[in-house]
Amino acid sequence: MTAAILLSEAGHTVTLLERFERPQPLGAGLLIQPTGLRVLQRLGLYDDALKAGARVEGIDGRSDLGHSVLDLRYGDLDRRLHGLGLHRGALFTLLFERLKRAPATLVTGFDVASIRGTNISTADNRKAGPFDLVLICDGAHSRLRGGLAPAHRAPVYAWGCFWATLPDPERRFAALLHQRFRGNRHMAGVLPVGVAPGGDNNDDVTLFWSLRVAEMKAARMRGLDSLKAELLDIWPDLEPLLASLTSFDQFSEATYRDVAMSGFRRDRVLFLGDCAHGMSPQLGMGANLALADAATLAGALARASSLDAALQLFETTRRRTLLVYSFVSRWLTPFYQGDARPVGWLRDLTFGPACAFPPTRRAMLTMLSGTRRDWFATFPIGDDGLPELPLI
């Protein structure tokens, strides 16, 4: 939607093909990082996002014994920086309402099955195209990537999560992403996410519970009381929150992939967002990177003298940043979700001191905030307190 808005408003004729008949929000709450907020600002949605979401000042991750594992505050990087917990539905609604005001054409119920050149068709032979450029933005579990992408791999992680959105009227979990770990096999997180679209109370939080994908079915069979007992065993403070959890149906399941591509382009087809660089959600970066992809592409098209030059500019601008985030996400995930117990112990021993030591704390904060440009440089913070992203 971000790409469709920005490109159509720049004068391109844009058709957005979406498989769902009725576009609707799906999925867990999101942490929007300062870089994602920059893109929302570029779309004119910053103030509305702040109203809908919950301001997040940093992360407080602890072992089940209460020892600090992650203690990071955006304000230590720049006092004006912060994140925003947002219902996925709220982000969807903001973008969807914005899309309606843009001159792009939205075609729903169009489940793309094949792309030949720039001609697109569904399994029942509905057709669109040819186009000058096709953007493939069909998410981490993309069906289109297989036959079209340059050399790539996209294995599903063995670990996923259950998540549910619950009210937190006493705001016990306000202002921070709270996490509790027992080794790397047990992890729970609570993210304040503000108000659901059409909702009244801006005190919602999303609860995440990590588990092996292969164990999701068995966990459902064991039932809600068993799951609550497991959660309370590592994090007793969850008790008031769990009171509003009355059915297992309140939980949804998420699985993720580790997508790596040798390049983001083949001829006149460009891969954006999770489809190109899906990762585990440990860094809370996927949606932010997808937003930045779209806005960078719009910037490249506005500046370059030809489509080929614009695609080249897009790739060179995004590649180094995406490589860093993909690498760190891949490297970090086993510290949070994995089977090798010593990795969890190593995390508990080393991450706390790394958060306290100024140089490593700064490096961790630049990763968290999305402001790392590559291994050596960071994005500067603008006068308005948001990161300056190239071409955006």
Ligand X SMILES: Cc1cc2nc3c(=O)[nH]c(=O)nc-3n(C[C@H](O)[C@H](O)[C@H](O)COP(=O)(O)OP(=O)(O)OC[C@H]3O[C@@H](n4cnc5c(N)ncnc54)[C@H](O)[C@@H]3O)c2cc1C
Tokens in use for 101? 């005001």
Radius of gyration of the chain (CA): 21
Q: For 177-195, give one letter per residue: b (16+ CB within 10 A) or e.
A: bbbbbbbbbbbbbbbbbbb
Q: Contact with ligand X (CB under 6 A): which of 4, 5, 31, 355?
A: 31
Closest C-alpha among 362, 365, 357, 351 to residue 63: 351
Does position 83 interact with ligand X (CB under 6 A)? The reply is no
Q: Is the peptide bond before 380 cis (omega within 30 degrees of 0)?
A: no
Given the complex with ligand X, which of 18 and 203 has the nearer CB atom?
A: 18
Q: Contact with ligand X (CB under 6 A): which of 58, 89, 286, 299?
A: 286
CA distances from 384 to 41, 306, 341 (A): 11, 32, 44
Write the single-letter amino acid at 183: G
Does position 288 interact with ligand X (CB under 6 A)? The reply is yes
Pairing of strands 260-261, 152-153: antiparallel
Scanning residues 40 to 69, which ones bind ligand X (CB under 6 A)? Answer: none
- For the four alpha carbons of 379, 383, 385 and 388, in that order, the dihedral sign comes to negative
Does position 351 interact with ligand X (CB under 6 A)? The reply is no
The DSSP result for 56-88, as a single string, is: E-EEEEEETTS-EEEEEEGGGT-TT--EEEE-H
Q: Contact with ligand X (CB under 6 A): which of 256, 325, 335, 379?
A: 256
Does position 134 interact with ligand X (CB under 6 A)? The reply is no
Given the complex with ligand X, which of 26 and 65 has the nearer CB atom?
A: 26
Site string for ligand X, 207-246 (x = CB under 6 A): ----------------------------------------
Site string for ligand X, 289-328 (x = CB under 6 A): -x--------------------------------------
Does position 112 interact with ligand X (CB under 6 A)? The reply is yes
Does position 357 interact with ligand X (CB under 6 A)? The reply is no
The three-class DSSP label of residue 156 is strand
User: How many C-beta atoms surround the C-beta of residue 247 within 10 A?
Assistant: 8
**Rounded to the nearest whole angstrom, what is the least distance from the CB of residue 209 to ligand X in the complex?**
10
Whether 19 contacts 109, CB under 8 Å:
yes
Q: Contact with ligand X (CB under 6 A): which of 163, 271, 336, 379?
A: 163
**Rounded to the nearest whole angstrom, what is the least distance from the CB of residue 2 to ligand X in the complex?**
8
Scanning residues 11 to 30, which ones bind ligand X (CB under 6 A)? Answer: 17-20, 28, 30
Given the complex with ligand X, which of 97 and 308 has the nearer CB atom?
A: 97
Given the complex with ligand X, which of 31 and 365 has the nearer CB atom?
A: 31
Distance between CA atoms of 358 and 360, rounded to whole angstroms?
6
Does position 111 interact with ligand X (CB under 6 A)? The reply is yes
Scanning residues 136 to 155, which ones bind ligand X (CB under 6 A)? Answer: 137-139, 143-144
- By the criterion CB under 6 A, which residues form the site for ligand X? 17-20, 28, 30-31, 111-112, 137-139, 143-144, 161, 163, 254, 256, 273-275, 281, 284-288, 290
